[in-house]
């Protein structure tokens, strides 16, 4: 569950929130399941989420080295996932590559980010 699929042609993305027997098709071709990268890949220092506890909840920074946030290379979104929630915040070029979420740090099970150039990254 919570699998992300992308159309190889138009780049539209679909998030599966409940599995079913069908298949996803876009632009007359099957959509591709995006694989989560977790740290063995090149560029991990700019993509692996850094998760911190705050007074209000949980802060997610993208990378131990801040990720670029320019027009052709930026973090599009950050999401935090727990047993009973999924929260997503979008980002734009020029913004800081971080967001704060009003969810208890202890309840966050997984954090995912999406870089428009380097794909889908995760921290469990």
Measure the CA–CA gap between 102 and 115, rounded to whole angstroms: 23
Spell out the domains of the chain, with CATH numbers in brackets: 3-33 (2.20.28), 44-123 (2.60.40.730)
What are the tens digits of pLDDT across the range 76-109? 999 999 999 999 999 999 999 999 999 999 999 9
Radius of gyration for the alpha carbons in the chain, expressed in angstroms and rounded: 15
Residue range 115-123: average pLDDT?
A: 92
- Predicted local distance difference test score (pLDDT) of residue 39: 73
- Is the Cα dihedral 55, 61, 65, 66 positive or negative? negative
What is the C-alpha separation between 12 and 123, in angstroms, rounded?
24
Taking the complete model, does pTM exceed 0.75, yes or no? yes
């Amino acid at each position: 569950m919570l699998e992300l699929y992308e159309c190889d042609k138009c780049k539209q993305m679909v998030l599966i929130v409940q599995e079913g027997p069908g298949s996803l098709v876009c632009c007359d071709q099957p959509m591709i399941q995006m694989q989560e990268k977790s740290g063995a890949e090149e560029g991990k220092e700019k993509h692996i989420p850094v998760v911190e506890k705050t007074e209000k909840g949980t802060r997610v920074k993208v990378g131990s080295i801040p990720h670029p946030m320019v027009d052709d290379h930026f973090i599009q979104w950050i999401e935090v996932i727990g047993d009973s929630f999924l929260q997503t915040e979008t980002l734009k070029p020029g913004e800081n590559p971080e967001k704060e979420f009003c969810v208890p740090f202890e309840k966050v099970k997984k954090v995912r980010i999406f870089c428009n150039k380097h794909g889908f990254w995760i921290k469990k």
